[in-house]
Amino acid sequence: MYGKELIKLKLLDELQEDFAVLRGPFESGRQSPKNLAIALVLSTFIQPLMFFLTYVVAADTTIYPYKDFIMDIHFWITILLVVFSIFFAIPKVYLKNQKIQYLLIILVSQNVGAFFMYLISLFLLGSERLSLEVTEDSLISFTLTTLLLGLLVFIITCVRFYFLLKKGHYKAGTKKDKLRSKLEGKSYLPTAIIVGTGLVYIIQYISRNSYTLDINTMVLLIIGPFLFFTMLFVLPEQLVILYCKYRFESFNFDKDGNLKPMGSERKDD
């Protein structure tokens, strides 16, 4: 049994090496539990503000269908995220539940960076104040198209991430690690094509339905879907790091706030 346990730990250590580079945000302290707690505290103010801007300001005169239904669902999701953000900003809580805290950060960042901004753009497209010649059906078609493009961005990024891991691009101290930025730059091409196609489609959609929009309004309508695509692009890496926090102790911090060393399989008390 002892020998089997040693083999298991050795295999686990080797597996950790494949994800070593992803420890960077933790090693630098940028994503330490304390800093994540600060981000969660800030989000308790940002999320209600974004909710107000989305459903009171942007959606004020919109003809976008199912607005009230979306608002009701999003309201309770946002309330839960705010409550949990407050709870997991408490040191005694987040030090014992670092994995859940990181999951919460993912949900909050996606809510603020992706969904609120995306919905603001959708509601503005249907706003009577902008005098866009759009219909409810065209707004639904626009939504489905952009969601499909977002799904493609997510899938392609997941596939890209998988092959980079298989090729050892996230191992620390290797030539591939040093060349990772250059190699990844080439692998961005399929995703960039999808995002570029999406932005071109959005611009064409707006142009077809309006002849009076100024450049500032055009940018405001485009930035929402663009941030939506961007957040879906970073989501796979967030999920892989979350997996690493559950799989390896070395992606977590001890009670004193220090990152556990590679190969550490100590469990939190």
**Listed ranges 5-9, 79-83, 258-262; the one with the highest mean pLDDT:** 79-83
Nearest to 221 by CA among 107, 147, 144, 130: 130
Instruction: Return the percentage of the chain with pLDDT > 90, whole number.
Output: 36
The residue behind tokens 């102790």 is: 249
What proportions of the chain, in percent to the nearest 5, are helix, strand and coil? Answer: 75, 0, 20
**Listed ranges 53-62, 82-91, 195-204, 247-256; the one with the highest mean pLDDT:** 82-91
Q: What is the pLDDT of residue 3?
A: 47
pLDDT digits (tens, 9 = 90+) for 204-259: 555 555 545 556 667 777 788 888 988 998 899 999 999 999 988 888 998 888 88
Q: What tokens were used for 117?
A: 């901004």
What is the distance between the terminal CA atoms of the chain, rounded to a whole angstrom? 24
Lowest mean pLDDT across 14-18, 28-32, 52-56, 121-125: 14-18
With beta carbons less than 8 A apart as the criterion, state whether 269 and 13 touch.
no
Nearest to 142 by CA among 211, 73, 222: 222
Q: In sequence order, what are the residues at sequence separation of 6 or more whose Cβ sits closer than 8 angstroms to the Cβ of residue 113? A: 227, 230, 231
